Structure 1
């Protein structure tokens, strides 16, 4: 993995025939995904897997006996008070349209995939989520430690991978972070401990340079 803090996670993680603009039925994707040979011996190495999040959503549905969106809303979003965040299809209120090469592109189908690409939110709610995570309101101490512990060594700005977070540096400062890309959308969420501040970026242009924005935001936050 390169040193960029914003990997395009679907670039090499989809099954044959998968297209991000028209991903298809979630169950069909899982069927194709499960029919592929193992990429490596389990436990021997690590690769980012967006289909793995799709599988996780399916497991949650089986265990909770309710839809993934309902389970996430009842167990996470509603208790945290994230009133501007929802799961599944696009919300009824206006949302930002995506752009590619200066032209509007509508790719709503990708948001129908439970798990990897179906969360609609705002920077305020992302900051609320981070504060709740840090305060121990979201997970047990053991689970929170597992998410932020370095489980696998990586290279460059991504020094290590946790469970749902990357651990490393942003503009030379220690931080935990994670990016998220849907077609024509980019997002980035980070928490530099020494700043005790949330860095949340939501972009509706796939050509936006996330690293360039971070090089402006982090120093500005330190001066503030």
Structure 2
């Protein structure tokens, strides 16, 4: 991450330079170097201090949501190593946490939109494949505008022959049988009416002759 990279850069690139400047008591150069370290995005507070003195302090010390690193500032001359001061660097995590929350809400919103679109798609498919055909069947059952039998139903083109298609097919066959039965009844009724009429005519003729 950027945080780890910046802190490693402080340790690898700046720590030795700070120690060298402090060893020769070049406070002006030390301040320039510290200001350069403060330009790193993840460095929000920097302090160089001994037990008795704060030599340089840049930024405001952070008390919460913080990552802190401390390094001893040493300088070696020959075989001797001198402890000069301690370098403290802090990184404010509040901006990191805020960025994480923003990413979380963005992902949450994105997933919610995806789920909503999926639900709309499922409802549309359900309406097209189930609700609409059943409404057509219901309307056909109560439609007697074509006679004493209900109307047949024609479903919109479907992707496959499923249970709804089978139901519509059986319904249309039933309607056809009802119509055929009614046609047979009407034919028999017509025959009966013709026979009755001929019978009446015959009786009338016989009565007249008698």
* TM bucket, shorter chain: under 0.3
The structure that is helix-richer by fraction is 2
Choose between structure 1 and 2 for higher RCO, CA contacts under 8 A separated by at least 6 residues.
Answer: 1
The alignment's TM-score, normalised by the length of structure 2, stands at: 0.22
